[in-house]
With several copies, the nearest count.
Chain A
Amino acid sequence: NIYQRKEEGKQHFFKLVELDEDTIDPALWGKNFPRQYDGYKKTTELYQPKVGGSEVIDRLEADPNLKKLFAGYAFSIDFRKARGHAYMLEDQENTERVKQKKQPGACLHCHASVMPTYRQQGDGDEMKGFLKVCGMDWQEAHTLVNHPISCIDCHEPKTAGLRVSRPAFKKSIVQLAEAKEAVPFLPSIEKWRQGDRSKPYDVNALATRQEMRTFVCAQCHVEYYFAPKTKELIYPWAKGLNVDRIEEYYDEIKFTDWTHSESGANLLKAQHPEFEMWSQGIHARSGVSCADCHMPYQREGAVKISDHHVRSPLRNLSRACQTCHRSDEVEIQERVRIIQDRTKSLLKKGETAVVDLIASIQRTKKRNGAEERIKKAQEFQRKAQFRIDYIISENSLGFHAPQESARILGDAIDYARQGQMILRKEDEEEAED
């Protein structure tokens, strides 16, 4: 490149500390990069409205439908709103889902700075260590880690360039690359697909920088499941990132997270599919990354840095949105509100429909002879439940892909109501079973 010379910037930072792959302690990184460290530390800030005196928003309390929807599963015991990155390990330790239920070591993949542990457990082979730790009991695995997310999880220690570290992501993105569904929002994968495919897609080598600004987040902010026996953590992308493809994938491998304690249906649990939802939205198609909105640039003295106080962009609208959108803050806020209100209104209807369906199944179960129809109704519950849960657990309340979120909820409503219908008969109809 003839103009490459200009790419070389002026250097303002000083290498005071030698960092390597085992340097988890962010304070050490902070010696070299004090501004980023300052931002990172702010993820301890609590900014949610306090509910009932506690600092935690109890989602089960905020929406009474949830207990019913998740009946029989750990999420009906304890389910809270996410807090800042600083709390990720502590919040996992404290959730009743871990305290009251048996969980695998796989949980730690996204809640701790875990790479050195993987290497250690795998005798230098991080994939091997990853698999080993996944299969441990949570309690055992937990003794092997001691820090929430740190710089090393997103940065390569020599240059501080971005890279992904997480084994589950590295493996699953290979599956995605090999899937058929188009991914125009991930140009490096589209490009790899055009090639000879002799080697699997290698994310750290091939991803564009702008993709990396999303991929580092997609290491964790994704839908996942644990392989039934090994408890290996897997992201269900082998058919694509659309919710319908993910469901197909689960159906094909006959996967089930739990059996609903009231209806007996075999259900799927959706968890924070932010990456998947983002991928269906107009921002992804326009090349806007997670970091653009959640870690916008910020001027600090003579230099610009990425704001490492990862948080809701609504708390930082001017930097997060206004370079691209010229409206004033109130207007931008209002646009987000409208999108989220529409999502909420459909979500409420979806939840009501599934709750109704659960009650119908429960009532119908009391009599004999309806087994076939109950089975069908349970299948509808599975489809509807996964979709409303997809929106419940996606943390932007529809913002990351407004129309797609509404489409998913429309489908959910239709499935739930059809499930109910199967359990009812028109007055004129003969009993079929």
Chain B
Amino acid sequence: MVPAETTKQEGKRRLRWGMYLPTALCFSLAGVVLGLGSYTFWYAEGGSYFSTDPRACMNCHIMREHFDTWQKASHHAHAKCIDCHLPHDFVGKYLAKAENGYFHSKGFTLQDFPEPIRIKPKNARILHLNCVSCHRELVGDLLHHGAFKDESDSCVRCHISVGHGSPR
């Protein structure tokens, strides 16, 4: 894998993110509180939710199928749930966790989410960026020439099967 390059620009962005950090933390907190309280969250093993262990996701039977299909898919050996589904950078990760934690708890408690479960556009983008981050070596040139520059295209459009096998 390609080690993350630390360019000047990147440093700048980190700095900028530093400024937003408090806001992000607020959102994060609000996410947990709104997520029907920490009781619900902990009962549903929200604690293990922050873990890198795929079994943490399995605490919800609703994730069972995704776990099973992940085990059979090509990336079983290369990537765990959060490698694909949570942002790799520090701030984004916790922001996303808070927001997703909210939806997860709400969904699990109220059972009001639409099925089949479908990835939300924002999370689809996180996913895409995670593909890029592991495969930057291979696809770097494409990105340089403007490929994937907007959300009309993503790795998953062609490689949807890497995480959970082919849907069709």
Residues of chain A whose beta carbon lies under 8 Å from any beta carbon of chain B:
1-13, 159-162, 187, 208-211, 213, 286-287, 292, 297, 299, 302-306, 318-319, 322-326
Contacts and interface: CB of A to CB of B under 8 A. Distances in A.
B77 interface: no
A303 B141 contact: yes
A304 B149 contact: no
Contacts of A159: 144-146
A187 B152 contact: yes
Interface string B112-142: 0011101000000110010011001111111
B86 to A, nearest CB: 11
Given A2-B17, A8-B9, A211 B152 contact: yes
Contacts, number: 130
Contacts of B159: 323
A327 to B, nearest CB: 10
Contact of A9 (B40, B87, B140, B167): B140
B129 A3 contact: yes
B116 A8 contact: no
Given A7-B143, A210-B152, A318-B116, A324 B167 contact: yes
Contacts of B144: 9, 11, 13, 159
Instruction: Across the A-B interface, give the 6 residue pairs with the lowest CB-CB distance, nearest first.
Output: A9-B140, A208-B152, A9-B143, A10-B140, A210-B152, A161-B146
Given A9-B61, A287-B152, 14 more contacts: A3-B92, A4-B13, A6-B88, A8-B10, A8-B143, A9-B141, A13-B141, A159-B145, A187-B152, A208-B150, A303-B137, A303-B138, A304-B139, A318-B115
Nearest to B65: A304
A6 B133 contact: yes
7 contacts: A3-B92, A159-B145, A162-B146, A187-B152, A305-B141, A324-B168, A326-B166
A9 B89 contact: no
Given A3-B126, A9-B136, A323 B158 contact: yes
Nearest to B12: A5
A5 B143 contact: no
Interface string B1-43: 0100101011001000100000000000000000000001001
B109 interface: yes
Contacts of A210: 152-153
Nearest to B126: A3
B138 A302 contact: yes
Contact of A319 (B5, B116, B129): B116
B82 to A, nearest CB: 15
A9 B132 contact: yes
B61 A8 contact: yes
Given A3-B125, A209-B153, A302-B61, A10 B161 contact: no
A256 B88 CA distance: 61
A125 B2 CA distance: 46
B50 interface: no
B99 to A, nearest CB: 12
Contacts of A302: 61, 64, 137-138
Nearest to A187: B152
Contacts of B43: 2
B106 to A, nearest CB: 11
A377 B6 CA distance: 73
Given A10-B137, A209-B152, A5 B168 contact: no
Given A3-B129, A208-B150, A287-B152, A304 B142 contact: yes
A287 B141 contact: no
A159 B108 CA distance: 33
A10 B5 contact: yes
Nearest to A318: B114
